[in-house]
Amino acid sequence: MATWQCDFQIVPSAAPVPAPDDAWLHFPPPEDWREKISGMLQPGDSWHQDLVGWGPYDGNRVEGWLETSHLASMRARLDLRDPNLEAFVLQLLALLPVIGASLETHYGTRLPSSLPALTEAIQGSPAFRFVTNPEAFLRRLRLGGPDDA
Please give the chain's pLDDT, 149 residues, in tens. 789 999 999 999 999 999 998 899 999 999 999 999 999 999 999 999 999 999 999 999 999 999 999 999 999 999 999 999 999 999 999 999 999 999 999 899 999 999 999 999 999 999 999 999 999 888 888 888 656 54
Rg (CA), the chain: 15
Strand partners, 79: 5
Calculated CA dihedral for residues 63, 22, 34, 75, nearest 10 degrees: -30
Partners of residue 78 on adjacent β-strands = 6
